[in-house]
């Protein structure tokens, strides 16, 4: 009678024959991937359509609106963090290759400060599913809270990413490719929260629809401004990649 085989040793199982870990993506590939992913993150609302569905569903579609408003803000911010971080990494690699790192270092340090603001926003409580559930329980009040949070996030996000875009435009120009600086006219101020809450109360909630329209349209315009600049950035990265 033969002895049974020994039990397998603890530890990770060996990789199958022919398996190799995927190589890390280059910074230029990361830029391209984040640029292409905007169709997944940057949802464009049509207010009349959303309003129509809300009426037809006796208000239940409004819960989906809350979900989508929070989701698109969160996912857009995460995508922009990846895009701007990859574009900064690529520019730093190019600056080192061309011997311009010391000259451009102050601009990169300013970018790091603004990127910290974007990352801080991504760490705040912005789970779309939870907000949708809360909205189902406490309609009206939750929408007001969500609109205030999203408006504040958009203002902070836009100023921070605009600062990064401005610095990157100068850096890429020094590297030999032109990127138009961001349009300062796109920046918006915060809503008058007290006035809007009062208008919602005195209109028995009707003004909340107008407020929702503003939040939708301001987000739409923000995305569309971003897309123009992103197209310029993606083209600049591609030209530099082909030249090296």
Structure-block tokens of residue 177: 């490719």
Kind and range of the H or E run holding 235: helix 207-243
Residue 23 pLDDT greater than 90, yes or no: no
For residues 211-216, give the mean pLDDT. 97
Model pLDDT, residue 124: 83
User: Which percentage of the chain shows pLDDT scores above 70?
Assistant: 91
- Output DSSP code: residue 20: -
Looking at residue 1, its pLDDT comes to 47
Residue 194 has pLDDT above 60, yes or no: yes
- Rounded to the nearest 10°, the torsion over CA 33, 36, 42, 48 is -170
List the beta strands (DSSP E) in 45-138.
none
Nearest-10 Cα torsion for 82, 88, 94, 96:
-120
The CA distance from 202 to 240, in Å, is: 57
What would the pLDDT profile of 159-178 be if each residue is shown by its tens digit? 999 999 999 999 999 999 99
Could you report the per-residue pLDDT of 118-163, keeping only the tens digit for each?
A: 999 988 878 999 999 999 888 889 999 999 999 999 999 999 999 9
Say if residue 76's pLDDT is above 80. yes
Question: Mean of the pLDDT values across residues 210-232?
Answer: 96
Helices 207-243 and 61-97: angle between axes, nearest 10 degrees: 30
**127 Cβ contact list (under 8 Å, min separation 6):** 70, 74
- Mean pLDDT, the chain, rounded, equals 90
- Region of poorest pLDDT, from 26-35, 85-94, 183-192, 206-215: 183-192
Work out the pLDDT band at 19, boundaries 50, 70, 90.
low
Asked if pLDDT for residue 13 goes beyond 50, the answer is: no
Q: What is the mean pLDDT of residues 37-56?
A: 94
pLDDT exceeds cutoff 60 at 213: yes
* pLDDT for the residue numbered 10: 46
DSSP string, 16-55: PTT--PPPPPPHHHHHHHHHHTHHHH-PPP-HHHHHHHHH
Rounded CA-CA distance 191/213 in Å is 13
Q: Answer left, alpha or beta for residue 16, where phi above 0 means left and psi between -120 and 50 means alpha.
A: beta
- Distance CA(60)–CA(64), nearest Å, equals 7
- Which tokens go with 149? 């949070």
Distance CA 7, CA 23 (A): 34
Domain locations along the chain: 28-33+45-243
């Amino acid at each position: 009678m033969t002895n049974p085989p020994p039990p397998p040793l603890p530890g990770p199982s060996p990789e199958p024959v022919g398996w190799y870990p995927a190589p890390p993506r280059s910074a230029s590939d990361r830029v391209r991937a984040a640029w292409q992913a905007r169709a997944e993150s940057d949802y464009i609302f049509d207010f009349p359509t959303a309003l129509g569905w809300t009426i037809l569903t006796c208000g239940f579609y409004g819960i989906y609106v809350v979900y989508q408003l929070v989701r698109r803000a969160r996912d857009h911010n995460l995508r922009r963090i990846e895009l701007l971080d990859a574009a900064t990494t690529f520019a730093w690699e190019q600056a080192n290759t061309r011997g311009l790192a010391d000259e451009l270092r102050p601009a990169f340090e300013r970018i790091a400060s603004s990127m910290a603001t974007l990352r801080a926003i991504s760490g705040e409580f912005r789970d779309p599913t939870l907000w949708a559930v809360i909205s189902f329980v406490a309609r009206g009040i939750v929408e007001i809270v969500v609109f205030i949070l999203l408006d504040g996030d958009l203002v902070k996000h836009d100023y921070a990413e605009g600062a990064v875009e401005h610095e990157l435009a100068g850096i890429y120009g020094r590297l030999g490719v032109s990127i138009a600086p961001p349009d300062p006219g796109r920046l918006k101020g915060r809503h008058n929260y007290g006035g809007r809450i009062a208008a919602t109360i005195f209109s028995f909630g009707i003004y909340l629809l107008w407020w929702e329209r503003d939040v939708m349209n301001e987000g739409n315009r923000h995305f569309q401004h971003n897309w123009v600049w992103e197209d310029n950035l993606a083209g600049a990265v591609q030209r530099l990649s082909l030249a090296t």
